[in-house]
Amino acid sequence: MVGSAEFEVENGVANGEVNGKVEELPQEIEPIDPAHRTAVMEVVERGSGEKKRRSGRRIVLGKNVHTSCLAVTEPETDDEVTGDRDAHMASVLARYKKTLTERTKHHLGYPYNLDFDYGALGQLQHFSINNLGDPFIESNYGVHSRQFEVGVLDWFARLWELEKDEYWGYITNCGTEGNLHGILVGREVFPDGILYASQESHYSVFKAARMYRMECVKVNTHVYGEIDCEDFREKLLQHKDKPAIINVNIGTTVKGAVDDLDLVIKTLEETGFHDRFYIHCDGALFGLMMPFVKQAPKVTFKKPIGSVSVSGHKFVGCPMPCGVQITRLKHVNALSSNVEYLASRDATIMGSRNGHAPIFLWYTLNRKGYRGFQKEVQKCLRNAHYLKDKLRDAGIGAMLNELSSTVVFERPQDEEFVRRWQLACQGNIAHVVVMPSVTIEKLDTFLDELVQNRSTWSQDGKGQTPCIAPEIGTENCLCGQH
């Protein structure tokens, strides 16, 4: 659903010089010349098992990183005396930091909050912190951060209204791992269940289906990206003999659409599934934002859901990929196994887990709290509406789902511009994900460059304004035909 959301809150060497000489890093990945683009044709299965190639779908791949990699070379025999190796590495790292600083200035297409300061945690980087096994059972390995991890899990369990003695969870290594775990729990609860997911679900959901050899049914979506529950109903009725495992999106990857959880549950009950379903909620980005949007539908374990996962490196803003996975304690027993080697049990996807990530999450949650997140959500939604309105004022088709900070618009015609601003694209559309680190000033710079370059593209004959009506609706398309 598109509209104006109410976002009022409820509650020497340092300079890179070695022996007087500046060491250059390899160049940034250059935009690819169209003549050298790699075309990946989608292979599709026909009814008889025969394969054919579907024409007309091209995926532009980036340059092979081997052309710009930093080689590892052996130290000279006298390096301990001269110190040249350390000086060289310091130079490379200084240049790399400069590159990161520059690329961060032009980062808009991916949902990462780059506004953080964890200087106080630098003192812990000297330790190998590993949270092996179950977060709630201490293993023989003593250099862990379980006390921080469980504190973070308790915070999220309260957010999603699940009592301490009724939940289980852990800090994952990324959002994909949260989806893999949630769907695995659903499969263990219903071993013969069919996985249902909208066609705009994150690719990790379909990866889980392949990994677990699950039958997977793709459900159609409405034009703005949310699941089409009429199509969902029809597909449920085609498989009434098997339980349903459903992935519900709390913010889709490309359009930021939020599936109607209440309608999904109602559809399941009306089609006779009742207690024969398991719902995993993929809240990678917006799962933590939506609780602070006034009048937004609630994601809560008071409803018959089985698990929720969010990413920690997105809205929260951690410097490394991580996530949070919460499920009902009663579901985990089927996954758990005792591991004598650890003196613990394990029900996670990975073995070793990053023990630093829970500390970063704990630190941020303590610094910001619910009130701090409320303010940041309000800022993101306000700035997203600003960007959408400015794009429309400039004659650029754009759309913003009312429960989202992901602004979808016409795909820029120049791949160099796309790479400069690190935009995520699909077909004729691109998007900007407005995070707490995205300021009005940054958006204005982006808009100025986009408008200026757009006029240049038209003069250069790089193509007319694309029609994006099929992707985001006729009312949001300004191609001249709508």
Active site residues: 404
Q: Is-contact 201 249, C-beta < 8 A?
A: yes
Q: Is-contact 113 317, C-beta < 8 A?
A: yes
Q: Which of 18, 20, 16 is nearest to 83 (CA)?
A: 18
- Partner residues linked to 310 by β-bridges: 324
Q: What is the DSSP string of 438-477?
A: --HHHHHHHHHHHHHHHHHHHHTT--PPPP-HHHH-GGG-
What residue type is assigned to position 186 of the chain?
G
Q: Which of 241, 221, 243, 216 is nearest to 232 (CA)?
A: 221
> Strand 323-328 and strand 307-311: pairing?
antiparallel
Q: What is the DSSP string of 369-385?
A: HHHHHHHHHHHHHHHHH
Cα 285 from Cα 179, distance rounded (Å):
13
Give the CB-side neighbour count of residue 396, counting CA atoms within 13 A. Answer: 26
Cα 133 from Cα 338, distance rounded (Å):
9
Of how many residues is the chain composed? 482
